Chains A and B, each alone.
Chain A
């Protein structure tokens, strides 16, 4: 068989997404939470690319461009929040910031 079955690419995207979800759920350090979010966004972009190339449509790459834009915006805002968290609490543990105080 010449070529990759489309399900294999989707399964790879699902594996990466599940790994990112697991990291998001069991890490408490904010750097790792942000990196897990990047992994999950990357997996979503991979799913778009796989579907787009599987159906021979360039819309998948358009959606991947938008996903990359979203990831860049999310990373900048998230890292700004991380710096603010570190300067207020001197730690990166998200449990100390679980309550908003107005």
Chain B
């Protein structure tokens, strides 16, 4: 059990290093799946099989499939990997990482100076205990979680719609209000549409 814990922890740390130091998004997503599976192994070793199963199903299954799907949909290709490799120069991340390492070493030293009495023996905390607790005193938090998921669903479907930008012609919305303004703004939007697609929004929304 200790071997599973330490090997799982080592695998998780190495795979997370692979996530944050990888220029290719697809490889980083695969490293992240490995990292989450290693953390699930740590959960099993600690004696929390319910949490480990949830980690595999929800995190490594559902959320990571979402990430892989978005990366496939965007079709980033080799240019994005080259750009990332350009940003991965050591002088870019050395300063913030050193500052974060100072905070991290402080935290580790504070943890190591504890009394060290508490030992996890891997005794099973089953799903039944978590379930009775979840639907007993923590029922309000279950309701809040359901509301949070509903709000995330509504927000994602509202933000993720592509109609104002993906549709190239804003004609049906602008036509009844001012016909002359549309004729003035539309060629300029076409001219500077390719180099700066962001600026084509402002005349549309002002009119």
| A residues neighboring B (CB under 8 Å) | 1-12, 14-16, 18-23, 25-29, 31-32, 34-36, 38-39, 42, 45-46, 49-50, 52-56, 58-62, 64-66, 68-77, 79-84, 86-90, 92-93, 96, 101
Contacts and interface: CB of A to CB of B under 8 A. Distances in A.
Nearest to B136: A62
A27 B20 contact: yes
B197 interface: yes
A9 B162 contact: no
A73 B45 CA distance: 28
B63 A18 contact: no
Contact of B28 (A35, A88, A89): A35
A46 B63 CA distance: 17
Given A3-B119, A16-B13, A66-B145, 10 more contacts: A7-B111, A19-B13, A22-B93, A49-B51, A64-B51, A68-B55, A68-B58, A71-B59, A73-B148, A93-B83
11 contacts: A18-B101, A21-B100, A27-B84, A38-B59, A46-B42, A49-B43, A53-B125, A56-B123, A83-B160, A88-B197, A92-B76
Nearest 7 CB-CB pairings of A with B = A26-B93, A23-B20, A73-B152, A80-B160, A58-B129, A18-B104, A3-B121
Contacts of B97: 22, 25-26
B66 to A, nearest CB: 6
Interface stretch (B31-39, B172-180, B182-190): B31-39
A20 B39 CA distance: 14
Nearest to B5: A4
A86 B46 contact: no
A4 B2 contact: yes
A81 B161 CA distance: 10
A101 B13 contact: no
A50 B149 contact: no
B15 to A, nearest CB: 10
Interface of B: 1-2, 5-6, 9, 12-13, 16-17, 19-20, 25, 28-29, 32, 35-36, 39, 42-43, 45-48, 50-51, 54-55, 58-59, 62-63, 66-67, 70-71, 73-74, 76, 80, 83-84, 87, 92-93, 96-97, 100-101, 103-104, 107-108, 111-112, 114, 116, 118-123, 125, 129-130, 133-134, 138, 141, 145, 148-149, 151-153, 155-157, 159-160, 162, 165-166, 197-198, 201-202
Given A68-B54, A87-B162, A35 B32 contact: yes
Contact of A76 (B66, B101, B129): B66
Select the residue from B1, B73, B87 with max chain A CB neighbours within 10 A. Answer: B87
